[in-house]
Structure 1
Amino acid sequence: MKFNVHLICNAHLDPVWQWRWTEGCSEALMTFRSAADILVEYPELIFNHNEAILYQWVQQYDSNLFARIQKLVAEGRWFISGGWFLQPDMNLPPVENLVRNIRIGRDFFKEHFGAEPRVAYNFDSFGHPGTLPGILKEFGYEMYIHQRPEKEYLDLPDNLYQWKGLDGSTLATYRIEIGLYHNERSNIEQRLREGADLAVKLGRDVAVFWGIGDHGGGASRADMDKIRNYIPMDDRVNFLHSTTDRFYEGIRPLIPEAPVHEGSLQRIFTGCYTSLARVKRKALEASGAALQAEALTTEANSHTHESDCHPRESGDRNPLSDIWKDILFNDFHDILPGSCTEPAEQDALELYGRAMENIRRMNMHSITRINQSVPELKAYIPVTVFHSNSGLNTFPVEFECMSDYRPLWTGEWVLRLFDRNDCEIPSQEEQPEALLPFHGWRRKISFMAKNMDPGVHHFHAKATDDRRPTTDGGHPSSVIRHLSFLALHDTADSWGTAAWAWRDLAGTFETLPGSKMIVEHGPVRTIEQEIRKYGESRIIINRITYAGWPVTEYKIRVHWNEERMRLNVTIPTDMASPRLTAEIPGGADVFAPDGQEHVHGRWMVVTDDGRPTTDVSHRSSVVRLMGIAHNGLHGFDFDGKEIRLSVLRSAAYCHEQGFSLDSGPYHKYMDLGIHDFRLALWEDPSIDPAAIAEWLITPPLVWPHLSIG
C-alpha cells in the first residue's frame, strides 16, 4: 500500500516583522498575483493561504485580483486554509481577542468565498495555551497544526497526537515534522525525499509544507519544475498537491489511536513575554476599552430603544468593527511578542492610539444619548459614572473636574460629592494633574463606590466652605508587602532564544534618602510615595491603601536607562506549601515553583493549601492566599519563596543571537525611557482576580460637567 505525501503549497507572509505593514501589504499583493499566475501555468498545483487581513488588503487595493482569487477558490485551485483574521501570538492576547480573531476571519471567508476550513493552524506562534482545544472545537474545527515549540523545546508523544485541553476537550493536532512551514530555494528535492522516507517509515500519510515564506513568495516555477521531475523517480509513495483539510482526511482514521498530550504547548522564546512592554500594556488597555465601549453602546441602545446607533462618518462601516480589527492586527506574532523593528513598534502604538481615540468618540456618543434620555438632575457639577465590571460592586473611582468657572480666590473651599438623592458620598480631594497656583481651581476627587451594579450612575459635586475632619484612609487588612526592584543582566536577543531563566543580578534599586512621604491622606485612601534608584534609572512608587477595601494598589513610574538589562519586581509569598495559579487565555493553569520564566495573562493567585485548582474565586476555606493583578507584566518566575514579575527588558530591536552587538556602530534598544505600570495585591479569598485585573486595566468611565437629563 502506498501512502500519500501531501504537498501543501503556501506562502508564509508576516504582515509585519523586519518591515512595516505597508511593505507587508505590498508583498501580499505581489505574492497573491504571482500565485494566481502560476496556478494557470501549472494545472496540478493547489495554493493554500490563511489570514483574512491579507485578502482584505487585496480586496481594497486590487479588486480585479480579488475577483480572480474568488474564481480560483470556486474551481478548487486556491484553498482557503486556517480561516483566521491573522496568525496571532497565542499567549498574550485576552481570550476575547482570540475569539474575535477566529470569528472575523471565518465570517469574512464564508461571505466572500463560501469557505469554512476544518483545520486551523498557527505555524509560527510562540506557544499555545491549554484552553485552545476547547475554543477551536466551539468554532467547528477538527484539527490544529503548529510548528512551535519544536521537538528540541517540547517533547510530544508523537507529531500526530490528540491534544487534551484544560476543559477536557480533545482535538486532533499535528506538529509539522518535515522542515518548517516553508522551503528554501535549494532544498525542495530534499523535502520531497524526506517526506517519502517518513511516510514509508511511519506507514501513514505525511505533509510537506512548501513555498518560499516569511516575506511571502509561495511557489516558484523552478520549484514546480523540480517537483515534476522528482515525482516519477520516487514511486514509494503518492505525491499529491493538497490542502490542510485533505491532509486531515488522510490521517483521520488514525486519530482515535493517536497518543494524548494534556495541557499547554510551552515553552519557547521567553524574552517575548516581556519585550516591547509599552505595546503589551497598550494591548490590554485597548482590548479592555473596546469591551467597555461595547457594553456602553448596549446600555445606550437600551435607553433609547435603538439597536444600532454607532456614529458613522462614512458609508456603512461599523466603527467598533474597525476598532477591533486595529487591535487584533497588533496581536500578530511578531508585533505583540516584541520581535519587530522600532518603526513597526511605533506603527503599533499609533494604531492603538487610533483605536483608543475612536473608542472615546463612541463612548461620548453613547453617554450623551443616555444622559439625554434620563430624568433631569439639576447640578452645578454633574458627574456621570459608567461601570461595566460585573465581578465588582465595591471599588474606588477617581476623576478630575473644575470647582467653578473661575477660581474661588477667597476662603477655603472643598468639593463634596452627592448621589442623585442628595445623599453625600464620602470623598477625598487630591492633587490633579495640572500644577497651577489657582487656589484649587481644578480638583481631583476619589471615592469608594459601594454596592454599585453595572450601568450608568449619576452624581453631582458642589463647592462648600464646610470642611469636615479628615479620617484615616488606611485599611488594616490591606496587603503591605515589601516590593524589591531588581536590575538583571539580559544579553539575549529579542526573542530570548534559549534563555529559560533570568537570574543574573546586576543590582537592586535602593531608596533615595528623604524620598519617602505621604502625598495624600483622607477618608477614602492613603497614598505613600517612595523613590528608588539604580545606575541611571529611577522608580517612583505610589502605594495606595483604601478604607474598607482590602486591596493594595501600586502605581509605579519607571525611568529606565539601562541597555541590555531587564527590570523585575519581586514579591515575597511567605508560604509553607505554595501553589501558583495564573490566568491564560480563556482560563487558568497551575505553574510549578521551578524558578523558570513562564507566561500568563493579567493575574495570578498563590495559595498555601496545596490543593490543585483553577477556581480561585470565592474560596473561603483557603488558609492563606495572595492575589496579584497587573496591566501587562506577562513574564514571571516563581521559586516557591517569591514571585518575580518581568517589567521590561532593553534587548536590541529585532535582534537574533547570531548577530554580534559587541562591536560596530550603536544599535537601538527597546523599552528605554518612561514606563507606567500598575499592580494590585490582596489576601481576601472572596475576591475575583479577573475582576480586579479588569478594574486595574479598565477602570470606570467618568464624565464630569456633562448635563444629565
Structure 2
Amino acid sequence: MFRFSEKQIEMMIQFADDIKEKIYTPKTPLNIEGYTTKEPLPFDRKTEGEKKTFKPGDKWGDVFDCCWFHITGDVPEDCKDKHTVLLIDFNGEACVFDNHGNPQRGLTNGSSSFCFSLGQPGKRVLQLSNDAKQTGKIDIWIDAGCNDLFGTLCKDGRIEQADIAVCRDDIRDLYYDYWTIRELMQVLDKDSARYARASRALYEAMVILHNFDEDEVKRARDLLSKELSRKSLDPCLKVSAVGHAHMDLAWLWPIRETFRKAARTFSTVLDLMGRYPEYIFGASQPQLYQWVKDEYPNLYSKIKEKVAEGRWELQGGMWVESDTNLPSGESLIRQFVYGKTFYREEFGLDVRNLWLPDVFGYSASLPQIMKTCGVDYFMTQKLSWNDTNKFPHHTFYWKGLDGTAVLSHMLPEETYNSNAGPQSIAKSEKNYAQKAVSDRCLMLFGIGDGGGGPGAEHLEKLKRLKNLSGLPPVKQEFSSDFFEHLNQDSANYPQWHGELYLEKHRGTYTSQAETKKYNRMLELRLRDLEFLATVAMQNGWDYPQERLDEIWKEVLLYQFHDILPGSSMKRVYDECLERYELLLQEVQQLTRDALKSLSENKNGRFDASSNDIAVFNTLSWKRSEWVQTKYGWLKAEVEPMGFRCFKKSEIIEESFPLKAERKLLENELIRLEFSEDGRLISAYDKQAGFETIHEGSKGNTLDVYTDNGDAWDILEDYQKLPSESFKLESSSASLSGPKAILEQTYSYGNSKLTQKIVLTHGSKRIDFNTEVDWHENSKMLRTKFPLNVFSHFATCDIQFGNLRRPTHTNTSWDKAMLEVCAHKFVDISQKDRGAAILNDCKYGYNLFGNVIDINLLRSTSFPGKEADQGKHSFTYSLLPHKGNLIQGGVAEAASELNSPLIINEDCPIPSASSNSLSFFDIESETAVLETVKKAQEGSEVVLRLYESAGGSSEAKLKSAFEIENAWLTNALEEEICELKSSSKMINLSFRPWEIKTIKLKLE
C-alpha cells in the first residue's frame, strides 16, 4: 500500500496555512481617529477623551486603557461587486457599535496569551453593514480596551491592522474543507482505509492548487467533498455540542471590563446566529445578564428574542459561577434563589442544571442544596486538572453528605474551550469513561475565560462534522436536552460519594485573607440582620427586602470563583474590599435600626418597662457568656434566638479565680503553660483530666514557610524546605474581669505580630486574638497544634454539616489532600476526649497524624501583586473537650466565636414578663435553626434548619408568635406540603444531615 512520507505529511498539514493566507486580500487602509481615556466611557460621551490620529504600528495605549475609535473610509470601485470586508486588529478587545449606541459585533486581537492549541482567539473580520454596501462609505465607532482576552498588553498596544479587503468565499470554503479533512487524518488509524482516502484527497488537492484561480479551487473542493460526504452509519456515541463563552466576572481584569466583555461576546453571538441557522449558544450567570440589561438594553432585548426562539440557552441556576468551598450553606442557597428567580422573572424559564466548569472543588453539601433548589443536573470539567489521581468518571451520580444524588457530567474533552474540530471530537470519544453505558457526551465550543465565544471557524467546522465517517456524529443542541437524554440510562451510571476534591488550587483556601474575612463577616451579619428584621417586622417595622436583596447579590458576586478564592488581579481586591467595608457598615446600621424598632414597642407585644441593657442571642441554643458593657462585665444567659434584658444592678464587679503570668494562664477548667519562646507547651484539661498538647511538642508555633506558589497553588514540598518562626520580643500578663490575658509580641523579617491569648472564667476555649502587620514576599504564615489525641480522621466543618477527612496517607487519594478546606472548626477526637481548632475567618488546613495545622496568610505575587501585604486581625481558638465533638459542643463553640452576643445599650428592648424571650427555638439534640428571614414573596416567615450530627432526629420548633399556618417548602420557598402545628409549635423529623425549609404565617 502506498504511504506518504513524513515530509509529505508535514507539507500537507502546513498547506492549510497557505490556503488561509489567500482568503483575504487587503485593498486600501482605513482612516483611524481615536479618543483615549483611562476608564471606559459610554457611547454618548465617546468624544470626551484625548483626540488622536492613528495608523497601523502606532501605540494607542497601555494595559486597560480605553479608546473610542472612529473608523472611516471609501470602498474602492473594484471591490463593490465583490465580497468586501474590514480587517481590524487593535491588539486589544473591541466592540463595534451602531449609530444608536448599540453593540453590533466583537473584535479580538490575533496576538494573545490564550492557548492557541484550543483555537485562534482572534476575531478581526467585520462584514460591511447594509448602509456601507449601498453608499460605499465606511463610518463606524468601535469601543476598545488595550488588553487581550486575559488582560495582557499585546505587542505594546500598537495598532495591527485596519484595512478594507476582499474575501474569496470559494477559498474560504476550501480552507475549511481542507482543514477538516487534515485534522480528521491526524486522528485516524494510519492503517485504516479512511486514513488512506483522506490523506490521498489532501495530497491531490495540494497538487492542484498553484494559482488558486476559480477552476483550481473548484477542482480541489470537488476532491475534498467526496471525503466530507462519507457518513457514519450506525454510531455508538453522539456528541452534543453547544456554543459557549465561559466568562470570568473578574480575574486578570477588573469587574468593569466584564461589562464590555459581555457586550463583545454576546453581540458576536447574535451576529453569527444571523449567518448560521443551526448555531446554538448558551451562557450562565444571571449577574452577567443583569449587567447587560443595565448597560446595553437593546442587546439584552435581542438576547431575549433568541431565548424565546430556542437558539440561546440559559445555563446554571446560580447567580454567578460561585466557589463552593468557601461560601456558607445559606450563601449557596441564595445563589440559587436569586439566580433561578432572575431566569423565571426575565425569561419565564426554570433552569435545572448547575453549571460550574471552572470551580476549584465541590462541597459534599452541594448535591442536597442543589436538589432542594430544584436543580437536578451538574456539569463541570475541573476535576480533570487533578495533579495526583485521575478522576474515574465522566457521567456519574454524585452523592453528597446526606446521600442525595445528582446526575453529573464531566466534559470528556476536559476543556470548555473546544475548537470543535475532529481532534476535539476524537478526544471526547477516547476519554469518555462511560461510553460503554452512555451513547451521548457533551462538548462546549468557543473561546472562554475572557469571553469571546465561538467564531465563524467553529461553526464552519461543525457544518462539516455533523455525521462524518471516522468520528462520532455531532449535533448542536441545548445542554438541557443532553441531560434529559442522559437521564434515560441512569440505572447504569457509577456513583461517587462525598466531596469532589480538586487535587490542585489548594492555596485558594487562604489567598487574599481580607476578602475571606469580609465574606465571613457579611454572611454572619446578614444572618443576624435578617433574624432581627423579621422579629422587628412582627413589631411593625418595614422589612428592608429590596435593599437586602441588593446587598445579598453583591456579596454573591464577590463569591465568584476567581474573586473569593483569591485568584484575581490586585485591582479586583482593592475595589471589592472598599465595597465590602461599605456593605458591612450598611448592614450594621440596618441592624441597629431593627433593634431600635424593637425597643419602641409599637404594637404592645412586649410589656413596657425600663431596662438598661438588652442582650440578643441570634443562635438557636441557649447561651451563657461573659459580655462587656459600658457599665462593666455581665454574665449574660440568653434564650435561643431571643433576648434578655438586664439592669445595671446585675453588673458583676467581683474578682475571679484566674491566674495570668508570663508563662501561665489558668482558670477553674484549664491550665496553660508557655515556653520561653512563647509557644504553648501544655493545655491541661482539669475537668477531663488530660493533657491536650502532645508530649514534647509545642502548639501555636507561628511558622513561616517559603511559598513560591501563585494564588492558586501551594507547592507540594513546601514542608521539606527549612521553616522559620516569628521570634518572641515581649510578653505581659494581665487580668480583665473574667478574662486572663497573655499578650505576646513577635517579629519576623519586616513583619510584626501581636497576640492576646485569652482564657475566660468558666470556659475551656482558649482564644488567640491576633494582629499582624505583614510585609513578606513569597512566604506563608501557619500555626500548628500537635494534639494528645489518637484518630485516623479529622472532622471538618462544612456547609450544613461536617465531613471526616483522613489524617493519614494510606492511598494516593489520601496523600493528595495535603491542604483541605474547613469553615469554623476542625476537630480530632478519640472516644473519650478530643480537641478542636476554631476560627473566625480562616479556611485552609493541613491535617496529618495528630496535628491540626492552620494556614493564616500567604504573600503571593500573581495574579494579585502584594497579596495580603498590610494589617490583619483574626482569631483562632483551641478547644479541649470530653468525648467526641458532639459531646464536647465543638460546633456550638465555633458558632459562638463567630456570632457573639449582641449588646444593645442605646435602646434596650422593653421586657417581657420574664425579662427574657425566645422568638424561635428548636428543641433537639442535633437540629440547628440556621436562618430566619421574611419570605421572598409575601409577609410569611421562612426558617431554614438542618440536622448537624449525621443522625436521625426528632425536634420541636417553637415560636413566640402564634402560628396560623405552616408549610414545608423547598429552598426556593415553594410549598411542598402543609404541616400540622399547634398555636406555637411544630413537630419535625430529620434524617441525617437533612436541610429543611419551613414557611410560617404568623398571626
Provide the rounded CA distance (Å) in 2 between the counterparts of 1:608 and 1:635.
23
- Percent identity of equivalent pairs: 24
Superposition deviation, residue 174 in structure 1: 1.2
Per-residue displacement from partner, 1:115-165 (whole Å, max 9, x unpaired)?
A: 212322211000011222222122232221111121643433321112122
Structure 1 residues 508, 517: closer, same or farther in 2, change over 3 A?
same
Does the 8 Å CA contact 1:583/1:600 hold for their aligned counterparts?
A: yes
Superposition deviation, residue 226 in structure 1: 2.6
Structure 1 residues 504, 40: closer, same or farther in 2, change over 3 A?
same
Per-residue displacement from partner, 1:575-599 (whole Å, max 9, x unpaired)?
A: 2335310112222111111482111
Partner AA of 1:143 in structure 2: Y
Check if 1:287 corresponds to 2:472. Answer: no
Provide the rounded CA distance (Å) in 2 between the counterparts of 1:164 and 1:625.
29
Structure 1 residues 705, 179: closer, same or farther in 2, change over 3 A?
closer
Check if 1:70 corresponds to 2:267. Answer: no
The residue that corresponds to 1:438 in the other structure is none
The residue that corresponds to 2:667 in the other structure is 475
Secondary structure of residue in 2 paired with 1:337: coil
Partner AA of 1:591 in structure 2: R
The residue that corresponds to 2:413 in the other structure is 178
Of 853, 856, 869, the residue aligned with 1:647 is 856
Of 341, 359, 383, the residue aligned with 1:149 is 383
Provide the rounded CA distance (Å) in 1 between the counterparts of 2:365 and 2:718.
25
Secondary structure of residue in 1 paired with 2:249: coil
The residue that corresponds to 1:274 in the other structure is 510
**For 1:16-31, what aligned pairs fall within 5 Å after superposition?**
16-31=250-265
Partner AA of 2:700 in structure 1: L
Check if 1:695 corresponds to 2:904. Answer: no
The residue that corresponds to 2:725 in the other structure is 508
Provide the rounded CA distance (Å) in 1 between the counterparts of 2:272 and 2:317.
23
The residue that corresponds to 1:117 in the other structure is 351
Secondary structure of residue in 2 paired with 1:327: helix
The residue that corresponds to 2:796 in the other structure is 582
The residue that corresponds to 1:603 in the other structure is 825
Does the 8 Å CA contact 1:573/1:640 hold for their aligned counterparts?
A: no
Unaligned runs of 5+ in 1: 312-316, 402-414, 417-426, 428-446, 610-622, 656-667
Superposition deviation, residue 352 in structure 1: 1.5
Of 96, 103, 121, the residue aligned with 2:330 is 96
Of 432, 436, 444, the residue aligned with 1:209 is 444
Structure 1 residues 196, 576: closer, same or farther in 2, change over 3 A?
closer
The residue that corresponds to 1:520 in the other structure is 735
Check if 1:388 corresponds to 2:618. Answer: yes
Partner AA of 1:607 in structure 2: S
Structure 1 residues 479, 471: closer, same or farther in 2, change over 3 A?
closer
Superposition deviation, residue 568 in structure 1: 0.4
Check if 1:458 corresponds to 2:645. Answer: yes
RMSD: 2.5
The residue that corresponds to 2:456 in the other structure is 221
531-540 vs 174-183, which moves further = 531-540
Provide the rounded CA distance (Å) in 2 between the counterparts of 1:708 and 1:576.
48
Provide the rounded CA distance (Å) in 1 between the counterparts of 2:274 and 2:714.
42
Secondary structure of residue in 1 paired with 2:764: strand
Structure 1 residues 391, 604: closer, same or farther in 2, change over 3 A?
farther
Provide the rounded CA distance (Å) in 2 between the counterparts of 1:463 and 1:390.
24
The residue that corresponds to 2:565 in the other structure is 337
Does the 8 Å CA contact 1:489/1:565 hold for their aligned counterparts?
A: yes
Superposition deviation, residue 198 in structure 1: 6.1
**For 1:363-374, what aligned pairs fall within 5 Å after superposition?**
363-373=591-601, 374=606
The residue that corresponds to 1:191 in the other structure is 424
Partner AA of 1:493 in structure 2: D
The residue that corresponds to 1:297 in the other structure is 533
Secondary structure of residue in 1 paired with 2:592: helix
Q: Which has the higher contact order (CA 8 A, sep 6+)?
A: 1
Structure 1 residues 479, 388: closer, same or farther in 2, change over 3 A?
farther
Per-residue displacement from partner, 1:370-406 (whole Å, max 9, x unpaired)?
A: 1111555546xx333322011351123234x4xxxxx
Superposition deviation, residue 233 in structure 1: 4.1
Of 310, 317, 325, the residue aligned with 2:543 is 310
Secondary structure of residue in 1 paired with 2:656: coil
Of 770, 784, 792, the residue aligned with 1:556 is 770
Secondary structure of residue in 1 paired with 2:789: coil
Per-residue displacement from partner, 1:320-368 (whole Å, max 9, x unpaired)?
A: 1111111111111101111101110112212212221221221122111
Provide the rounded CA distance (Å) in 2 between the counterparts of 1:284 and 1:59.
30
Secondary structure of residue in 2 paired with 1:208: strand
Task: Return the index of the structure with the highest Cα Rg.
Answer: 2
Check if 1:81 corresponds to 2:309. Answer: no
Provide the rounded CA distance (Å) in 2 between the counterparts of 1:196 and 1:43.
26
Structure 1 residues 488, 181: closer, same or farther in 2, change over 3 A?
same
Provide the rounded CA distance (Å) in 1 between the counterparts of 2:718 and 2:376.
36
Provide the rounded CA distance (Å) in 1 between the counterparts of 2:764 and 2:429.
64
Partner AA of 2:495 in structure 1: V
Secondary structure of residue in 1 paired with 2:845: strand
Check if 1:247 corresponds to 2:482. Answer: yes
486-495 vs 213-222, which moves further = 213-222
How many residues matched?
624
Structure 1 residues 463, 608: closer, same or farther in 2, change over 3 A?
closer
Check if 1:638 corresponds to 2:847. Answer: yes
Unaligned runs of 5+ in 2: 1-233, 659-665, 673-682, 684-698, 809-814, 911-1003
With normalisation by structure 1, the TM-score equals 0.83
Does the 8 Å CA contact 2:743/2:757 hold for their aligned counterparts?
A: yes
**For 1:22-41, what aligned pairs fall within 5 Å after superposition?**
22-41=256-275
Structure 1 residues 497, 531: closer, same or farther in 2, change over 3 A?
closer
Provide the rounded CA distance (Å) in 1 between the counterparts of 2:840 and 2:431.
46
Does the 8 Å CA contact 2:791/2:850 hold for their aligned counterparts?
A: no
Provide the rounded CA distance (Å) in 1 between the counterparts of 2:269 and 2:641.
51
The residue that corresponds to 1:492 in the other structure is 709
Provide the rounded CA distance (Å) in 1 between the counterparts of 2:650 and 2:623.
28
Per-residue displacement from partner, 1:161-207 (whole Å, max 9, x unpaired)?
A: 121222112222111111401135xx744324434666797572121
Secondary structure of residue in 2 paired with 1:577: coil
Structure 1 residues 564, 68: closer, same or farther in 2, change over 3 A?
same
Secondary structure of residue in 2 paired with 1:68: helix
Partner AA of 2:670 in structure 1: S
Secondary structure of residue in 1 paired with 2:458: helix
Provide the rounded CA distance (Å) in 2 between the counterparts of 1:324 and 1:122.
20
Superposition deviation, residue 670 in structure 1: 0.7
Does the 8 Å CA contact 1:11/1:216 hold for their aligned counterparts?
A: yes
Structure 1 residues 145, 516: closer, same or farther in 2, change over 3 A?
same
283-292 vs 552-561, which moves further = 552-561
Partner AA of 1:350 in structure 2: E
With normalisation by structure 2, the TM-score equals 0.59
Provide the rounded CA distance (Å) in 1 between the counterparts of 2:431 and 2:881.
56
Structure 1 residues 484, 45: closer, same or farther in 2, change over 3 A?
same
646-655 vs 496-505, which moves further = 496-505
The residue that corresponds to 1:674 in the other structure is 871
Provide the rounded CA distance (Å) in 1 between the counterparts of 2:772 and 2:649.
36
Structure 1 residues 283, 563: closer, same or farther in 2, change over 3 A?
same
Of 889, 907, 912, the residue aligned with 1:706 is 907
Provide the rounded CA distance (Å) in 2 between the counterparts of 1:220 and 1:697.
49
Partner AA of 2:802 in structure 1: A
Per-residue displacement from partner, 1:597-617 (whole Å, max 9, x unpaired)?
A: 1111111111023xxxxxxxx
Structure 1 residues 391, 572: closer, same or farther in 2, change over 3 A?
farther
Provide the rounded CA distance (Å) in 2 between the counterparts of 1:458 and 1:300.
17
Secondary structure of residue in 1 paired with 2:723: strand
Partner AA of 1:601 in structure 2: H
Superposition deviation, residue 252 in structure 1: 2.1
The residue that corresponds to 2:747 in the other structure is 533
Secondary structure of residue in 2 paired with 1:394: strand
